[in-house]
Amino acid sequence: MTWAQRAGWNRRLKEPTGPDAFALACTLPVDGLTAGRLLGILGQMVERHEALRSRFLVDAAGEPRQDVLAAGEFTVGFREFDPGEAPDPAAQAQSVAEELKNRAGDVENSFLTWACVITVDDAPAHLALAVSHFFADGVGVDILCREIASLVAGETLPELDPAAWRPVDQALYENSPKGRKLSRRALLYWEQNLAEGPASMFPERRADHPEPRFVQIEMISPALAVAVQGLAQALGSSATTVSLALLCSSLGRALGTADLMFELISKNRWQPEAEGAVCNIAQNSLFRVRLDAQRDPGFPDVVRATARSALLAQRHSRHDPAPLDGIVRSVGERRGLEVERSCFFNFTADLPSEDHPGPPGRPGGLLPATTVRTGSRFTSGGTKFFLGVGGTGTGLYLSLFVDLDYLPLDDAVALLRDMEHRAVVEHAAAVG
């Protein structure tokens, strides 16, 4: 098993938030193919990628291991498009993909990949695919979908022999002398910052909500997409760094602290040969930034400080997760308090390099188009705050998973709005 797989397994045991938390899904059009041709393409993917013909076997002691088979299969369902269920086949595929995540995240299944074809008049129209997060990270699933899309379009992949970088290659690299050296250095970095940084970003319970008290809040903001891209260009930074700096700025003000620490999701594809791997390499890295508490730093300063801290986090993101729980306990005992790992940030938006559609230099004009929605509630074992930033055709998509006992709903929505407002103001200042 790779370190990312081991970390995912440990997290699943500690935080049983439901199987869908451990699966990723995607959809793509498959018009013009026969069912037989589509099944043949999926069969090629199974042959090419070990992740699609792997399973977890758990021994009597509860320890998992990855079992890679020479041949494998996964279930492909067919469902006729129902106008009463969704406005079009693409929307129905999105809904079905969410259903499949529950199956793909269930480790009791032999194979953790599921697919369903939405048909129109019995002809394939859209494909929904879900893959266990144990076997593939977000980059891996994107690669898988791009390869399927290429074959659907009649293109030929450069090589359809087994992919060059496999999960076993990643595991061997991690356990090599070089990989072990990286792990030791990363764990020392974690220990130092856990010992010196805030033990919890949300140490005090501020409300008392009935279970389930964990809620997902979604915001789609065209203005934020304009502002983040504009600020990245003006400051010579990236959209990821700017978004993270906005979170640090707004969260620091909301909590009254200049020392912020939470975990980032790092893709960890350092080796060139791993760039095209369909496997799970992503791990959590520890991000800590200390802003100037004596004055209100300008946003460019916050971006620069964020960039430095994010680079340090990325450099120390590869580590064997087995010793980390012991380090957390040991640091907590020395400090005489509980050290939490309960706050997370993940940026997955694929923003275009050109300006997002909208009034150039005037993102404030798009603010009325912002939508905020309170989604499902969940039962969780430890995460208090998880902000994911993605992209849509109409703007940036922010998904905040929050423990309402520690950050009430109104405060959580206000935090997202403050990030948007700060971005709009700073972008207007940057472009004059």
Lowest mean pLDDT among 150-164, 245-259, 312-326: 150-164
Q: Which residue has the higher pLDDT, 282 or 297?
A: 282
Tell me, what's the pLDDT at 359? Answer: 45
pLDDT classification of 9: cutoffs 50, 70, 90:
confident
Q: What is the pLDDT of residue 320?
A: 94
**Within 10 A of 36 (CB to CB), how many other CB atoms are there?**
8
Q: What is the DSSP string of 181-232?
A: HHHHHHHHHHHHHHHHS-S-SS-S-----PSS-EEEEEEEEHHHHHHHHHHH
* pLDDT score for 209: 82
Rounded distance between C-alpha atoms, residue 172 and residue 228, angstroms: 39
What is the share, in percent, of the chain residues with pLDDT greater than 90? 57
**pLDDT tier at 19 (50, 70, 90 boundaries)?**
very low
Residues 170-180, mean pLDDT to the nearest whole number:
93
Q: Is the pLDDT of residue 15 over 80?
A: no
129 vs 148: CA distance, rounded Å: 11
Ranking 176-180, 220-224, 307-311, 390-394 by mean pLDDT, the lowest is 390-394
pLDDT tens readout for residues 118-133: 999 999 999 999 988 8
What pLDDT, on a 0 to 100 scale, did the predictor assign at position 105?
64
Number of CB atoms found within 10 A of residue 399's CB: 18
Looking at residue 18, what is its pLDDT?
Answer: 45
Phi-psi region of 418 (alpha: psi -120 to 50; beta: other; left: phi over 0): alpha
Residue 15, classified by CB atoms within 10 Å of its CB into exposed (0-12), middle (13-18) or buried (19+), is: middle
C-alpha distance from residue 372 to each of 102, 206, 375, 409, 420 (Å): 25, 23, 10, 12, 12
Whether the pLDDT of residue 100 is over 80: the answer is yes
Task: Please work out, in degrees rounded to the nearest 5, the angle formed at the alpha carbon of residue 304 by the alpha carbons of 299 and 306.
Answer: 90
Judge whether 344 and 7 are in contact, CB under 8 Å: no
**pLDDT at position 360:** 43
> Is-cis flag, bond preceding 300, omega within 30?
no
Q: Quick one: tokens of 402?
A: 């929050």
Average pLDDT, the chain: 86
pLDDT at 14 over 70: no
Bridge-partner residues for 386, per DSSP?
344, 401
Residue length, the chain?
A: 432
| Three-state secondary-structure class, residue 273 | helix
Residue 379 has pLDDT above 60, yes or no: yes
pLDDT for 353 beyond 80:
no
What pLDDT, on a 0 to 100 scale, did the predictor assign at position 20? 45
- The pLDDT, as a whole number, for residue 358 is 47
Which pLDDT does position 54 carry in this prediction?
81
pLDDT at 162 over 60: no
Query: Quick one: which of 321, 319, 341 has its CA closest to 331?
Result: 341
The mean per-residue pLDDT over the stretch 243-264 comes to: 95
pTM, entire model: 0.87
Confidence at residue 323, expressed as pLDDT on a 0 to 100 scale: 94
64 bridge partner residues: 58
CB 319 within 8 A of CB 269: no
Per-residue pLDDT band at 161 (split at 50, 70, 90): low
Retrieve residue 410's tokens.
Answer: 């109104």
207 neighbors 405 (Cβ within 8 angstroms): yes
Out of 69-83, 309-323, 364-378, least confident range? 364-378
Q: Is the pLDDT of residue 195 over 90?
A: yes
Q: Specify whether the CB–CB gap between 386 and 341 falls below 8 A.
A: no
Whether residue 88 has pLDDT greater than 90:
yes
